[in-house]
Structure 1
Amino acid sequence: MPDSQTSNQTRIPPLTDLSADVPFDPPVRSTGHMLRNRVAMTPGHRAYSFPVVDSTGEETWKTLTWGQVGAQASEVAAGLISLDVQPEDRVTIACTTRYEWALADYGIVYAAAATVTVYPTTLAEDVCFIIDDSDSRVVFVEDAGQLAKLSGLRDRIPKVHTVVVLDDTVPADADASWVISMEELRRRGRDRLSTHPGEIDARIDSTDLDDLATLIYTSGTTGRPKGVLLPHRVLVFEVLTLDGTLHRSSPDEMITIDDKQFLWLPLSHVMGKLLLMTPVHIGFETAIDGRVERIVENLPVVRPTFMGSAPRIFEKAYNGVVTKMAEDPGPFGIREKLFHWAGRVGTAVFEADHGDGSTTASRWVRLQARLADRLVFATVRERFGGRIRYFISGSAALNADVSRWFGATGMIILEAYGMTESGGGSCLGTPGGYRTGVIGRPLDGMEVRIADDGEILFRGAGVMDGYHNNPEATAEALDADGWMHTGDIGELDTDGYIRVTGRKKELFKTSNGKYVAPALIEAEFKGLCPVASNLVVIGEGRPYVSALVALDPDALTAWAQRTGVSGDYSRIAADPRTQAMVQGYVDELNGTLNRWEQIKTFRILPRDLTVEDAELTPSLKLRRAPVEAHFAELVEANYD
């Protein structure tokens, strides 16, 4: 049977009988076992494509089959074994999202070692802590830049005996006793494979579900990173329950070997790690390129059928389309008017079909929506490659209006909910069971309940073993009955859907005694204001709620050109016309809020928030404490 055909011969049948009452006992015992199965089942099927620069300086996309990936992973694994890496030894990867990250991880999997992840933007102090705390002995770094960063820390990470440079750019003055290239590691691996031909299989066969697969340090919005211990059980469970849940919802909703993923998410993040392992189970091709600035440009080239993302990318894409319409409205504004008409009728139908049942759409509106699809949304879909079946959004709240708009275009966004501590996924909205404003139902095999104080709790095979070297934090997160405390406040309706209403630690009380959940307000604003990058809601112990507003540089520049405002970002942000524009959107936001939640004052920041300044996590979550510290004067100015 050709590899391109989907059948049970190209995958382990989906586990549709996962239950919290039945012990998890899958047919595969580790992620290494899963990868070996994939290579054996579909060696000739395309596994990865990624950008490379050819001899003429042009960028092209190179492809590799599963057979080629498996052979390369074996070389990396054998190379690691030649460095005396033992089962469950920690091996760190510090690299942006690229094929070499995946290859290093698969090599670690084959060697039965455990992957430790480090964001390349991580501050030096935290890099030292992660490498030392994890007891890592080998570190993969992306390039000479990352190597220089690590070399400066060498005296503080004495356990590390080898550093491997993934892109092979080893400086001539590098210490050859400490630094080798990826090609050198693979050469050593090839030599070892020739003398120890059954070693990789033996490593895989000796690995079981409860052995450590990965140690992911939470990027954290506050405090020192915590190392989350994820055994193979968690990753195998997550992949199989995702597949089984989609199969149970409808076989037509399953991801198959004929799908194609575009993967740009940081692989040091648990969602990226999950999306790295899902193709190993199912066998589809992954186009991988972590350059965030190239996402929109890559989509029509890659033509994926699905993509996982943080909400900010969807919000930015939506605001980009709105901005483009305003820049080029067409003769008499017809193009812009047509766009907004399509949005109104399309979202009306989408909400009627996927909402809570409180709205309906007449035959006339549905007829208009079909026309809008041909005239407007077909073109929008082509800009995303023309083949998207659905997107998956996670890591933060997604604005409901943005979600409805994408649904109206025919590119539904499934909201996923999970944490590093739960392997990346605990809940998922499915296409057939989609509802706006909720995070779906728990994945098969995950138990959920709401505690007396409103906190969402989970229990199941997808829950971590605990925090590395941190029994106090483990005891706080996992109770005696195995329930994981998420720290999120939510509601569970009679149909099993979960709605997150706030973050327990972020919930604050004004001096008037009123509680405010800032995340939902912030998500709402980013959908309303097309030039917004972030909103930071403030008010703990204060007489009223205020905010800091960060604007998207590209959208702000385009707006300024249309409006006649000149200057760089900081000058445009300080212009009274910008203040008036933002005030209009704040007023619109306030109209949807309770009186005590309304934003009384705000300040526009002189620059956008960045990962480099530790104001955003690498997965683009807001870090409140650094933002408030960096802009303390503006915070106080809100209360003068």
Structure 2
Amino acid sequence: MHRNLCTVFAEQADKQPQHIALVRILKGKTVPLTYGEYLRRVIHLSAGLQATGVSFGDRVLLLSENRPEWAIADYALLSLGAIVVPVYPSLPANQIEYLARDSGARVILVSDEKQYRKAIEVSKAVPQLETIVVMDPPAQLASNAVSFADIEQRGADVPDAERRFRERITQIPPDHIATFIYTSGTTGEPKGAMLTHHNLLSNVDASLQIIDAGPGDVFLSFLPLSHVFERMGGHFTAVACGATVYYCETLFTIARDMQIARPTVMLAVPRLFESIRDRIMESVTKQPSLRRRIFHWAFRNASKAAQAVRGERRWTPWLRLKHRLADRLVLHKVRELTGGRLRFFVSGGAALGKHNAEFFHAFGILILEGYGLTETSPVVAVNRPNDYRFGTVGKPIPGVEVRIAEDGEVLVRGPNVMLGYYNKPAETAEAIDPDGWFHTGDLGLLDADGFLRITGRKKDIIVLANGKNVAPVPIEEQLKTSPYISEAVLFGDEQDVITALIVPNFERTREWAKMQGLMVQSDSELVALPEVKQLIKREIDRLTPHLAEFEKVRRFTLLDHPFSIETGELTPTLKVRRHFIKQRYAKELEAMRR
């Protein structure tokens, strides 16, 4: 018998069939699904998809928001030996068409009418895409479309479906490809990373060795399951330890849904923490003077107590007393925003920033920052609940080797490293050397205690006209700690000085302008104000006094609109597409060179 993602799932479902596995939050109400029901639906969908023609090795696109049917479809397809190609629901039809063509997909599963319309458009352009399966179908379906419920019912009618399912999953070898996960394409067209059952399971097993989780835990899932971080951590790992997963209703209901689910573990990206921090500080500014003073007193003493917890200063009886009082007055209220029983967040996808980790730690909220890539299934390193160091991404996980090349690049070797990029042998050879080391493209340092710190992206290094090298990411992250700066992207190749495109925090900046008696009708008028430009200049100077003179931002342009996925500046994982921005704002950048 082979051990793979499906056998781990079936084993857990058999162990605790009555335990709640999945909970969908719908219109503020909860719709639970037990592990036993979860397995039954996977068996039926698997049999129905097989009857529809899905077979071993077929590529199938999965285009849906987070919901129980996503998870059911994933395991059903994997149980057939199919290769699942998850697709971000935010992608437009033309980008989905590229994934369909490149992967050679024959079938696509979609969530609702909006995604169905995209699938119809793609199927017209890609003849090999034969079948569309719709979870929430419209009244009328095209001839090549069928409802998810009909496929399930078809499977339920298959004689001996459960026995066939159980026999079939034991025959899937660990080195069989489970999924193509397409990289987000920050520097070029997406590439399909081929990850096996063993790749992903090695990451699940290593994660559970260092982060204690079990049936008593509740995960709240809001990051897209099409992202390898959420899929491995909030899907495969949650199942492997027998936990319960709640699915957020939308990205706009996270605050409410934390109160409903009361999670103990949650995977997130830095933007969530930045948003929560901004809301907390904005709320404080609107409080009466006495309450503001109480908050700041509590936060100062909580920060000192958190330093003592981290071993950075000594506990004293007086500090303990002040911390207890601060907790009673302020700190517990902030923890209640997460539901009140959160053990820790795990942060990935982008740099968290030491300041963010320290801010939340002061309130008793631990954020464990990690590091990984699509190509490494994804986790390479992560801080542990009892072994963490803010400002780093933790130590490598068990079984994974990390070393730093002579040029500072982070190299990774282990069972989590992908087979390669689908149909791209040259790119695969460039990424994985003959000794099995994956070249991440990231720059980093390993300290004496084995903690990894990511310092930048190799391709993003700016080389000034005088030959000086500047790593933009740490500077950008520092600038974004300003309450008035949402995004900052640095440039300077072959220039005399560093320049930046800056997206203000429009809400906070408008409030500041109003307090100064400056009235504007639009964001365009706001960024044109000389006073606002001076505000941002003061913030840049305040936040970067420690930089070398050649690293400092000397010229900047304020943009009058936020970056977005739809306009192309951000990837579906909300990373800045630096090269696209360079092209789109070429006129503004050229003006700053003069």
TM-score clears 0.5: yes
Aligned pair 1:50/2:50, yes or no?
no
Quick one: which amino acid aligns to residue 231 of structure 1?
A: T
**Does residue 431 of structure 1 match 2:431?**
no
In the superposition, the TM-score normalised over structure 2's length comes to 0.96
Distance 2:187 2:94 in 1: 15
Q: Which letter maps to 2:16?
A: T
Q: Distance in 2 between matches of 1:374 and 1:123?
A: 49
Report whether the alignment pairs 1:161 with 2:130. Answer: yes
Q: CA, structure 1 residues 171+218, in 2 after alignment: closer, same or farther (shift >3 Å)? A: farther
Q: Does 1:347 align with 2:303?
A: yes
The Cα of 1:533 is off from its aligned counterpart by 2.0
Task: Give CA deviations for 1:260-290 in whole Å, capped at 9, x if unaligned.
Answer: 1110001111101112111110011111126
2:243 — aligned with what? 284
Q: Report the CA distance between 1:512 and its aligned residue.
A: 2.0
Aligned residues: CA RMSD = 1.9
Q: Tell me, yes or no, if structure 1 residue 312 matches structure 2 residue 271.
A: yes
Structure 1: distance between partners of 2:110 and 2:206:
32
Say if 2:91 is the partner of 1:132.
no
Aligned 1:21-420 pairs, distance under 5 A: 29-53=3-27, 59-167=28-136, 169-172=137-140, 174-176=141-143, 178-192=144-158, 194=159, 196-246=161-211, 254-274=212-232, 275-289=234-248, 291-326=250-285, 328-330=286-288, 333-354=289-310, 357=312, 359-360=313-314, 362-420=316-374
After superposition, the Cα gap between the structure-2 partners of 1:369 and 1:526, relative to the gap in structure 1 and judged at 3 Å, is: farther
C-alpha contact (below 8 Å) 1:303/1:384 kept by paired residues = yes
The count of aligned residue pairs is: 592
CA distance in structure 1 between the partners assigned to 2:525 and 2:49 by the alignment? 53
Distance 1:28-1:148 versus aligned 2 partners, 3 A rule: same
Alpha-carbon distance in 1 for matches of 2:387, 2:483: 29
Whether the 8 Å CA contact 1:510–1:540 is kept in 2: the answer is yes
- Aligned partners of 2:440 and 2:506: how far apart in 1? 34
**1:522: how far off?**
1.3
Deviation at 1:341, TM superposition (A): 2.6
Q: Distance in 2 between matches of 1:308 and 1:553?
A: 27
Structure 1 residue 561: Cα displacement: 5.4
Partner of 1:15: none
Matches of 2:526 and 2:261, distance apart in 1: 36
Q: Which runs of 5+ in 2 are unaligned?
A: none
| Cα distance in 1 for residues equivalent to 2:466 and 2:284 | 43
> Secondary structure of the equivalent of 1:152?
helix
Q: State the match for 1:22 in structure 2.
A: none
Amino acid at match of 2:527: A
Shift of 1:337: 2.5
- Taking the aligned partners of 2:591 and 2:426, their CA distance within structure 1 comes to 39
Letter in 1 for 2:194: L
1 CA distance for matches of 2:223 and 2:139? Answer: 29
Counting aligned pairs with the same residue, the percent is 35
| Counterpart amino acid of residue 138 in structure 2 | V
What amino acid does structure 2 have at the position aligned with 1:295?
A: I
What amino acid maps onto 2:302 in structure 1? Answer: G
* Structure 1 position 494 matched with structure 2 position 414: no
User: C-alpha distance in 2, partners of 1:235/1:142?
Assistant: 25
1:584 equivalent in alignment to 2:551:
no
Matching of residue 597 in structure 1 with residue 545 in structure 2 = no
Distance 2:471 2:179 in 1: 33
1:38–1:315 distance in 2 versus 1, CA, 3 Å: same
More displaced, 617-626 or 345-354? 345-354
1:452 aligns with 2:393: no
Three-state SS of the structure 2 residue aligned to 1:638 is: helix
Give 1:445 shift.
0.7
CA distance in 1, matches of 2:138, 2:75: 22
Once structures 1 and 2 are overlaid, which stretch shifts more, 237-246 or 577-586?
577-586
User: Contact 2:93–2:121 at 8 Å: present in 1 too?
Assistant: no
Q: Which amino acid aligns with 1:188?
A: R
* Cα distance change of structure 1 residues 544 and 171 upon mapping to structure 2, 3 Å threshold: farther
Displacement of 1:592 in angstroms is 2.9
> Tell me, what secondary structure is at the counterpart of 2:296?
helix
State the 1:407 CA deviation: 0.9
Quote how far apart the aligned CAs of 1:469 are. 0.3
| 1:10-21 aligned within 5 A | none
Q: Secondary structure at the match of 2:386?
A: helix
Cα offset, 1:558, TM superposition: 5.0
C-alpha distance in 2 between matches for 1:584 and 1:305: 40
1:534 aligns with 2:487: yes
Tell me the distance in 2 between the aligned counterparts of 1:226 and 1:393: 24
Name the stretch that deviates more: 374-383 or 141-150.
141-150
The 8 Å contact of residues 319 and 531 in structure 1, kept in 2 or not, is answered as no
